[in-house]
Chain A
Amino acid sequence: MVDKAIDAVMDAIDIETYLVCRDPNEGKALALKLGQELNLGDIDIMFEEFDGYGVRVRLRKYIYKPGAQYRWLTH
């Protein structure tokens, strides 16, 4: 077993959530801030949809990209 759970992620972590906000720009800023607060560093917003009350978002953080050394394989 790998030491850390994050080492077992095959490729990416996706986070889906709903952030309460006043407009799409605030939603986007909050989404990026969420990635920082969760210690994921820079994350990508895959999808965002503001509906007047908040923003439904899907965020992605790649743990491994192709060509990397995968710890789940070589641990």
Chain B
Amino acid sequence: MAKKILCIPLDPVHDVGIKLIRNQLAQHGHETELLSPDLPMEAIVKKAAQGKYDFILVSRTLGYGVAELLARFNDLLDAAGVREVSKIVIGGKPITPELAAELGFDKGFGEHSTIEEVLAYIEGREVSNASIGPKRSKRDIPAGHSYKFYNPVVERLLSEICDKLIAWTSTKTSPGIERAKLREEILASTDEKKRAALEVRYLSLSDDAIRTSKTKNVFPKGVRRVSNTELDALKDFLRRSRPHIPSTIQHNPDQPLIFKFLGSGCPLMDITHGKICERWGVNGFLIINPSWEARYEGLLDGYLTHENDGTITSLDNLRLIRQSLDANTLLTVRAHRGLNTPETVLLAGEAGADLTKIDLVYGSLGAGTDPQRLAVDGVEAIRLAARYNMPFDIPGNDELSGVPAWKTLAGLLVNVMLGVKLGAKPILKPLFCYGPHIVINGQMKQNFVDYNAAKIFALREIIDCPIWPGEPIAFMTQTEERVQSANSTSYHAALAATLGVDAITIASTDEAYSRGPISITSRIDSIRAVTDAFRFMGNAQIAPTRHAEAFTEDLIEQITDVLKEVNAKENLPQAINAGILGSEEDGAYPGKFGAGSMSNEQ
């Protein structure tokens, strides 16, 4: 039923908020009147008494002496009998429900109140979360990209490099590939005896630490099983908790998706952090595994928690996280790090993940896996990603070791071509960072815009491929100072929005603090900063200077030269070992895990 409402800007200047609320109330069918902001209090009270309003909405900014003024206003309303027929409501930036009650009002709305809350109060109903904000939807990141190459020289070089790599790997297998096949059989089998026999074969291809954990229930240091009590408590927590007035980060639908890392070590903590981040509008998460997992042949099973960084890759953990998050939240699982790349992709696919993360070059240079082993495992992993219809993102984080951007971008493009040839959907992840090579060589001496923009321009001149800068954006520009960190993330997010990229990964404001896990408040800090940046930018543009064009031309030429050198080698691992995609002088070292573990396929 329509209500009769008088809107009073009891403030000499600020009447914008009450005008907005009045418009919304009118749009919802209520009968509203708005007074001018300069009326004397007695005239307002006379009007309020004559009109027999259901509600009187007062807008006022607080300051010295305002409490007394509002108390007098309430006294006058009382004396005129207005309070007997009307509910008196106050709104203003610093108003809280407690303060409103203290000042004698029936209800108060403050800075974080929403129109929906005001409407629900006026209409005498509960606030409906479902009706607030746009519903979450899942964006298909590669959709709309053709993977068409615009640079024929680069296309030819990449094609030749990848053909040689696919041919070289075609006769090889590894314990990682064999375990992935066994795991698939185990998951498909309903015969207990057969499963047990397959498990024995799986363990014969695993390291002692994995065997011990499965046969003797003795886990690596800091790892324990999640108890049934904890799992039940999580279910209860998820059942009784709901996002209150969920918000979105994007101001318009063209702005990039926002991803955050999850990988606290504990799936329960990941899930609770994830649910809160969903409320604040985060679109997706990247599951990060522990560094020690990279060194072991074989993966652990079950619901497992871990005291240190990195959440353990088990099917139960991945499924628990996937099922606990909103169905429209995107989930990607890091696979390229270590000796379990194909199996990790398999588990991600089985758990219902949306994407996976594979980079044959960075995984060899920055994550310690032998280039030959990762080449063999990586090709199989990309095939599995294609089979599960999971796009894979390719992070260029080797740049953080000191590798020049053009070498990193060349490596990313090799992965893209490999993905295209194997029927998968690759996603480029150039860094928005102040990397060591850039610091030394001064490409960001003038600003942080031109060189980051040039990376995107260069890639777009080469191929139409989805681009998702990371990882996270603003890497090495953030300090331990919270406001600076949030600002830096938001400026880089604004640049990403202006460049029209598909997604970005953002840090938390404790990103530069390395002595403990990420806290939920720090996560929210950076999300809020990016939300404001997106609102600030809207559909406007940051204009790079003319230096960005020169950087773009240089990058394309340098990428082409690197790819020529890679193509001159017999295969990709040989090029990586020769330092063509990042040398010891740059700060990159080919990994050793799994060296010599390949065999010819039977």
Contact B519 A73 (CB under 8 A): no
B207 within 8 A of A: no
Of A14, A16, A62, A70, which is within 8 A of B517 by CB?
Answer: A62
A12 within 8 A of B: yes
The residue in A62, A65, A67 that gathers the most chain B C-beta atoms within 10 A of its C-beta is: A67
Q: Which residues of chain A are within 8 angstroms of B516 by Cβ–Cβ distance?
A: 12, 44, 60, 62, 65
Contact B510 A46 (CB under 8 A): yes
Of A10, A47, A64, A73, which is within 8 A of B230 by CB?
Answer: A73
Contact B517 A46 (CB under 8 A): no
Chain B 342-364 interface 0/1 with A at a Cβ cutoff of 8 Å (1 = within)? 00000000000000000000000
Contact B520 A67 (CB under 8 A): no
Q: Which residues of chain A are within 8 angstroms of B265 by Cβ–Cβ distance?
A: 66-67
Q: Which residues of chain B are within 8 angstroms of A70 by Cβ–Cβ distance?
A: 268-269
Of B233, B479, B517, which is within 8 A of A65 by CB?
Answer: B517
Contact A46 B234 (CB under 8 A): no
Q: Which residues of chain A are within 8 angstroms of B193 by Cβ–Cβ distance?
A: none
On chain A, the number of residues with a Cβ less than 8 Å from chain B's Cβ atoms is 21
Chain A 8-22 interface 0/1 with B at a Cβ cutoff of 8 Å (1 = within)? 001110101000000
Rounded to whole angstroms, the CA-CA distance of A67 and B516 in the bound complex is 13
Partner-contacting stretch, out of B104-112, B303-311, B381-389? B303-311
On chain B, the number of residues with a Cβ less than 8 Å from chain A's Cβ atoms is 29
A58 within 8 A of B: yes
List residues 559-587 of chain B with CB under 8 A from any CB of chain A: none
* Closest partner residue, chain B, to A67 (CB atom): B307
The residue in A12, A44, A68 that gathers the most chain B C-beta atoms within 10 A of its C-beta is: A12
Rounded to whole angstroms, the CA-CA distance of A20 and B268 in the bound complex is 40
* Closest partner residue, chain A, to B519 (CB atom): A12
Q: Which residues of chain B are within 8 angstroms of A11 by Cβ–Cβ distance?
A: 269, 517, 519-520
Q: Which residues of chain A are within 8 angstroms of B237 by Cβ–Cβ distance?
A: 73
Of B269, B481, B519, B520, which is within 8 A of A47 by CB?
Answer: B481
Contact A67 B266 (CB under 8 A): yes
Contact A73 B482 (CB under 8 A): no
Contact A47 B266 (CB under 8 A): no
Q: Which residues of chain B are within 8 angstroms of A65 by Cβ–Cβ distance?
A: 307, 516-517
Q: Which residues of chain A are within 8 angstroms of B482 by Cβ–Cβ distance?
A: 16, 47, 58
* Closest partner residue, chain A, to B223 (CB atom): A67
Minimum Cβ distance to chain A for residue B195 (Å): 30
B222 within 8 A of A: yes
Minimum Cβ distance to chain A for residue B353 (Å): 21
Of A14, A44, A47, A66, which is within 8 A of B305 by CB?
Answer: A66
B480 within 8 A of A: yes
Contact B234 A66 (CB under 8 A): no
Chosen A-B contacts, 13 in total, with CB atoms closer than 8 Å, are: A11-B517, A47-B513, A58-B481, A58-B482, A65-B307, A65-B516, A67-B265, A67-B266, A67-B307, A68-B266, A69-B230, A73-B233, A74-B230
Question: What are the 9 A-B residue pairs with the smallest beta carbon separation, nearest first?
Answer: A66-B266, A66-B265, A67-B307, A47-B480, A66-B264, A12-B519, A74-B233, A73-B233, A67-B305
Besides the known contacts A58-B480, A58-B481, A64-B269, 14 further A-B residue pairs in the complex with CB atoms under 8 A apart: A10-B520, A14-B519, A14-B521, A47-B482, A66-B265, A66-B266, A66-B307, A66-B308, A67-B222, A69-B230, A70-B268, A70-B269, A73-B230, A74-B230
